[in-house]
Amino acid sequence: MQKVAIIYQSRTPPPINGIIKPMKPGGYSDSGADIAYSLKKQNIEVITPTINPQIDHDLDWVFPDTKEGIQLATAKGANIIWLNTVLYKNHPIEEFIHLGISVVGQIPENVDLYDDKWITNELLKSNGLPIPKSVMMDQKNKNDFDLNFSFPVVAKPIRGRGSQGVSLVQNEYELRDVLNEMFHSNTYGESLYVEEFLSGQEVTVTIMPPGKYFINKENIIKNNYWSLPAVKRFNHENGIAPYNGKVAITNNSEVLQDSELQSLTIQQLNTACEKAARLVESKAPIRIDCRANFVGKYFLFDLNMKPNMTGASRPHRTDQDSLTALAARKIGWNFDDLILNMLNNSWCLNND
């Protein structure tokens, strides 16, 4: 019998090679509670820290992602741990995975590696996928750089989270100011990422892993990675999609029209994103942000191993569907359907 506990991010991950990934306020406890409540509504046994979790109190529904938090969840009977947290090498969950616990989520070591935009985009580029031109910046070259692409450019963290810390920069003077400010704050660590700005349409593609799914009242086996319908982003602020902590996704995003979804351009983009998911050995949904240049050619610019999984499962959060939840609705899944299909593709070392 499935007994599920959801863990959330209780602390900032350790710096990796001097690069910091900032922590989301609340550590994804909001989406963790959305997931837990959705499962409970569907008669899945959900293990929670409190006996009677309150519907609007996020921390009643989720366990911290510490060794002690996971031990408490398993002691209370959980046999599946939902990894609604930022993972990294030597994360406490690794010990439990090696002991045979089932999980929903990614391989921690893979997240550690592919959360680095530079490493990931170099991997994708070396495998023939379209990636924007870019350069890494550190304290040594922040004032003496040689870009192989023209302004405007985008400056961003190497281990970022959504659009937090992302800036559109118009010239080298602005770039020096932005880099100095980001380095001075030390929010993102010792290295930053600068890439060419793409002026065309932005879309987000969610890629699901191979597995068993229930779609249109049928059980379907997907032998390969597959894409949910692409979601268009609009109402950008200074060329950048606003952080969803400030603007609800439902206010600036919508699934592409059928004619565009069926276009060769988007079909080719889906194929590229599915190849990217295969390269990073994704075990759960990932999200890839893509943008077209001025002639309409799409590039993959941000592969997110842990897409935010908020959803409209609780009455006070009806506007909180994530990009993945929006895409899922196009194939007939509401948030509950999406979550149940994710649960049904949990994995463990013993059966993988």
In angstroms, the Cα distances linking 83 to 101, 103, 105, 343 are 12, 7, 5, 11
CA distance 84 to 103: 10
Spell out the per-residue pLDDT of the chain, length 352, in tens.
899 999 999 998 898 888 888 888 899 999 999 999 999 999 999 999 999 999 999 999 999 999 999 999 999 999 999 999 999 999 999 999 999 999 999 999 999 999 999 999 999 999 999 999 999 888 777 666 678 899 999 999 998 777 778 989 999 889 988 888 888 888 888 888 999 999 999 999 999 999 999 999 999 999 999 999 999 998 887 778 766 555 677 788 999 999 999 999 999 999 999 999 999 999 999 999 999 999 999 999 999 999 989 998 899 998 889 999 999 999 999 999 999 999 999 999 876 5
Q: What is the pTM of this model?
A: 0.94
Reduced to 3 states, what is the DSSP secondary structure of residue 208?
Answer: strand
CA distance 291 to 173: 25
* Contact yes or no for 304/203 (Cβ under 8 A): no
The backbone torsions φ and ψ at residue 262, rounded to the nearest 5 degrees and listed phi first, read -90, 0
Q: What is the 3-state secondary structure (H, E, C) of 304-350?
A: ECCCCCCCCCCHHHCCCCCHHHHHHHHCCCCHHHHHHHHHCCCECCC
CA distance 2 to 5: 10
- Nearest residue to 210 (alpha-carbon basis) of 194, 200, 224: 224
| Residue entry with tokens 């990894």 | 83
Domains and CATH numbers, the chain: 3-106 (no CATH), 133-196 (3.30.1490.20), 202-332 (3.30.470.20)
